[in-house]
Amino acid sequence: MLHLFNKTIASPLPSAGRAVIENVSRRSFLKGTTGFVVALQLVPFDTAKAFDSYPTNGLNMPHGVVNDPHIFVAIDPDGTVTIVAHRSEMGTGSRTSLPMIIADEMEADWDKVKIVQAPGDEPKYGNQDTDGSRSLRHHIQPAREIGAAVRRMLEQAAADQWGVTIDEVEANGHQVVHKTLGDRIGYGELAEAAMALPTPARDDLDFKDESEFRYIGKGKVQITDLHDITTGKAIYGADVKLPGMLYAVVARPPVVGGTVKSVDDSAALAVPGVQRVEMIPGTSLGAKFKPKGGVAVIADSTWAAINGRNALEIEWDDGPHGSFNTADYRKELSASANAPGKSVRSQGDTEDALKNAARVLSYEYYQPHLAHSPMEPPAAVANAADGKCEVWAPVQSPYGTRVDVADYLGMDEKNVTINVTLLGGGFGRKSKCDFAIETAFLSKQVGAPVKVQWTREDDIQHSFYHTSSVEKIDVGLDENDKVIAWRHRSAAPSFLSTFVPDEGFEHEIEVGMGLENLPYEIDNISADQCKAMAHTRVGWYRSVSNIPRAFAVQSATAEVAHELGRDQKEFLLEMIGSPRILDWEAAGLPQKFWNQYEPYEEFPFDTGRLSNVIELAAEKSGWGKSLPAGEGLGIAGHRSFVSYIAMAVHAKVDDDGTVHVPRVDVAIDCGFVANPERVRSQMQGACVFGMTAAMHSGVTFENGRVLESNFHDYEMVRADNFPEAVHTHIVPHPFSVHATGVGEPGVPPFLPALANAIFNATGKRIRDLPVGDQLRT
Amino acid sequence: MATIKVNGVDRQFDGDPDTPLLWFVRDQLDLTGTKYGCGTGLCGACTVHLDDVAVRGCLATVADADGKTVTTIEGLSETGDHPVQVAWRDQNVPQCGFCQAGQIMQAASLLSANPNPSEQEILDEMQGNICRCGCYQRIVTAVRQASTGA
Ligand code: FES
Ligand code: FES
């Protein structure tokens, strides 16, 4: 196990040496007595072993990681390098960043690189499930391996051609150069011979020194689709057109598990352009991503299909969830969270400590279900013919989609092709391929290519919703106001209910997102998950359970600080305590921290890194400065997707209760950063996404139906009031510090930082999300 | 039968005159740069120019456009180098990109009517265009660049 802490990295020094990061005192820091110590020392240069150890959970994902250059790279005789992007692009930039890493490591000229999108084929490309903020985390090193292998193949081909040894040549700027003679051959000329070579053994690969990177870490490469996006040529789900294609819009049961009692389609069929009406079989909770079912109107244009659907007269049987009401549900969650649940962490004796505490401060926080509402509502095109089915869809998990479509249609997987378009935002919604399955099914039914377009109303009312939760936190203080106990009880329906019969308890993934891993240095900590049955389709939404957990913990921390008259930032740092690696055993966990399934030794929870980003955000924000009345700074820090992010939010609340955010200072420690420009854009986006969730988002169920329907009542932050100046401060690291998540971890700290800022501006504490009209006067 | 000049070409449509321009350009003309985001005038993803002024393609109908000129993102500039498009690229505005055609058409319309908008005028004009990815900070910077060249 110790070798995991003893990785070699490319030396920042020009000499022939390498630096190692070494944990000089693993035992002691596990006991919590010292911090994580990083020591740089020179060891003998050993290229072949340079990247022996870069373990991530990527290897354990379904179909693992593929690093075969023949799968990912092709070179044309004219020198054009084609690189396969196998992850879905939904705005994070991974479709650019991973090929950029390959190109850099293979010494290709980015201007000569073309990117093609892989279809859903995990046996070939390895895992493609674009989710969990792991594209760079799992694939940065394999991308370097691919690039290094191609570079070596090109060098070998040149050496063969010149009749010299490979040591005498080196790749440089899209050509291979003879080191002493200065002869050069371009990549195009070498392509055929090079790509005919077998993949070099991994031990034969050598990697660039970080100082030699052309593109990695520079932030100068623009996203590959930038020109197409700005000229309207980029292709998203609904932009695919096939000859003879029909257009479908579906009326789905308003209540999950509902079925069609009766349908009168005569008016629909009378709408000009409407061709036919098809039934889609219904499903209930636990049907994974199978469509909800309903009635599809199929027409010769989208407009006709929409009008046709409006003309349908359907009587629904609502089924068992027809009495689901948000107002009652909230009470149910609250009752559950106010009693003991299933213990997920028990450190010390929290019950006893609370009983003997001088006083106990109690806070309850609530968040309703949320819809992801990507700008592009679900849409897909499919052509099922001759026992085969080809689909074009904006899906986060193209191979998962392939398996699900094949299963639904009763086809062999090899007869199903999933082409991945650009995703007009995903946020977890497009991990669920119900819309692609529907489309494939309808194409098969009508025997023609079909496009299914979801309307915005469909998107908001038939989502796989972000969990709703009540988080109850009780904090015990001794007579000296020292925090001696922290009890967190959470009642939130689990996304497990989407897959298996609901038992009312969460999956370890959800528990691992801020419930079991409170990083506070307090003697007695307990966490319970309290029973909560799902009554709608629950699915993950950008940042998942980290949102309500960070909101509750970081709000409660500021509340206690206020109660004690302490500075909120200082108190938060005091709660986190000494820099140490959290020890799951000492933390009273029955098993290891879930830790995003990453190997803990490689991705430990280092409280020093958390404190560091909190300090950094505070410092950059001018924490402690005096602000005019109605303005306040709030701070929060949270580790998720194995990244550490803190935000200092400056809020300004008008007399009428309107909340403005003139500035946010984001401090992010996400290990080595391959594309800082996209990290900054993700942080800006996370602040807007977080502000939407904090200020506006919530779907309301009444009799099982979602009341909200479009952007007038499911509001989004807009250009007239958004976090105006987001300053992102990136903690620099060498490549040896694992790249960690970026797409999601920016959202969780924003909500509590804003709530804390609002409190400091107004004295009003937000415990119920969204803020909505709570501050209106 | 309606006749509409779309991106410089006369187009005829004899279908339902209430068909929104959005679906006319997308489904009939295969101009898919114009996007559907809400269908109710609430998001701006469908923004096109009707006689040089930004309108919501999901609200304006074929009948409204009869005899008029429509410009979509594909026709904003032959080379794709309208100052707004250039600024959008210089500022690396897009994330997923889905809203951006609408944003660009809105910004181009603003600047053709008001070449030097104030900060507030930019925000007021752009507030009808939602970007779920949250590119607003760069959108505002890009509009300013397109306006002032800096
Ligand atoms: S689609 Fe027209 S404004 Fe949203
Ligand atoms: S870039 Fe994704 S919605 Fe604007």
CA distance A395 to A248: 19
- Inter-helix orientation angle B119-126/B136-148, to 10°: 120
Return the pLDDT at A35: 29
CA nearest B42 in A: which residue? Answer: A711
Which candidate, A717, A721, A715, places its Cα nearest to that of A697?
A715
Q: Give whole-number Cα distances, A746 to A396, A518, A542, A670, in Å.
A: 20, 18, 10, 11
8 Å CB contact of A712 and B33: no
Nearest CA distance, A717 vs chain B (angstrom): 8
Return the pLDDT at A590: 82
Query: Ligand 2: distance of its center to the CA of B89 in Å?
Result: 14
Which of A229, A395, A750 to mutate to probe the B interface, most B CBs <10 Å? Answer: A229
CA distance A48 to A586: 39
ipTM of predicted assembly, 2 dp: 0.99
8 Å CB contact of B32 and A232: yes
Query: Ligand 1: distance of its center to the CA of A113 in Å?
Result: 35
Those residues of chain A that have pLDDT short of 70 are: 1-53
8 Å CB contact of B27 and A303: yes
A687's CB contacts (< 8 A; 6+ apart) are: A647, A661, A664, A666, A723, A726, A746, A750, B134
Facing A684 at nearest CB: one of B35, B124, B137: B137
Which of A303, A373, A420, A727 to mutate to probe the B interface, most B CBs <10 Å? Answer: A303
Return the pLDDT at B46: 98
Nearest CA distance, B59 vs chain A (angstrom): 12
Element containing residue A747 per DSSP (H, E): helix A747-762
CA distance A336 to A633: 33
pLDDT of residue B144 exceeding 80, the answer is: yes
Which of B23, B58, B105, B133 to mutate to probe the A interface, most A CBs <10 Å? Answer: B133
- pTM for the model: 0.94
CA nearest B120 in A: which residue? Answer: A720
Query: Ligand 1: distance of its center to the CA of B55 in Å?
Result: 10
Please tell me the residue having the least CA distance from ligand 2 atom 4.
B131
B150 confidence band (pLDDT: 50, 70, 90): low
CA distance B88 to A223: 12
End-to-end CA distance of chain B: 46
Can you spell out the DSSP letters for chain B? -EEEEETTEEEEE-S-TT-BHHHIIIIIT--TTS--S-SSSSS-TTEEEETTEEEETTTSBHHHHTTSEEE-GGGS-TTS--HHHHHHHHTT--SS-TTHHHHHHHHHHHHHH-SS--HHHHHHHHTTS--TT--HHHHHHHHHHHHH--
Ligand 2 atom closest to Cα of residue A374:
3
Summarize pLDDT for A106-133 with one digit per residue, the tens. Answer: 999 999 999 999 999 999 999 999 999 9
Return the pLDDT at A52: 53
Residue A171 near residue A154 (C-beta atoms within 8 A): yes
Which of the listed residues B42, B43, B95 should we mutate to test ligand 2's pocket, taking the one with most ligand atoms within 8 A of CB?
Answer: B95
Handedness of CA A58, A63, A69, A71 (dihedral sign): negative
Which of the listed residues B126, B129, B131 should we mutate to test ligand 2's pocket, taking the one with most ligand atoms within 8 A of CB?
Answer: B131
CA distance A723 to A689: 10
CA distance A475 to A467: 25
Which of the listed residues A375, A376, A423 should we mutate to test ligand 2's pocket, taking the one with most ligand atoms within 8 A of CB?
Answer: A375
The radius of gyration of chain A from alpha carbons, rounded to an integer in Å, stands at: 27
Query: Ligand 1: distance of its center to the CA of B76 in Å?
Result: 19
Ligand 2 pocket by Cβ (under 6 Å): A 91, 375, 425; B 94-100, 131-133, 135
Which CATH architecture is the domain B2-76 placed in?
Roll (3.10)
CA nearest B16 in A: which residue? Answer: A272
The domains of chain A, with CATH numbers, are 18-231 (3.30.365.10), 237-320+378-453 (3.30.365.10), 326-370+464-762 (3.30.365.10)
Summarize pLDDT for B64-112 with one digit per residue, the tens. Answer: 999 999 999 999 999 999 999 999 999 999 999 999 999 999 999 999 9
Ligand 2 atom closest to Cα of residue B133:
2
CA nearest A453 in B: which residue? Answer: B36
Cα angle A167, A168, A169; round to 5: 95
| CATH 3.10.20.30 domain locations along chain B | 2-76
| CATH 1.10.150.120 domain locations along chain B | 83-148
- Inter-helix orientation angle A747-762/A546-563, to 10°: 30
CATH number of B83-148: 1.10.150.120
CA distance A491 to A476: 21
End-to-end CA distance of chain A: 59
A85's CB contacts (< 8 A; 6+ apart) are: A94, A95, A96, A98, A99, A115, A116, A117, A118
Summarize pLDDT for A37-85 with one digit per residue, the tens. Answer: 233 333 333 333 334 568 999 999 999 999 999 999 999 999 999 999 9
Three-class DSSP category at A555: helix
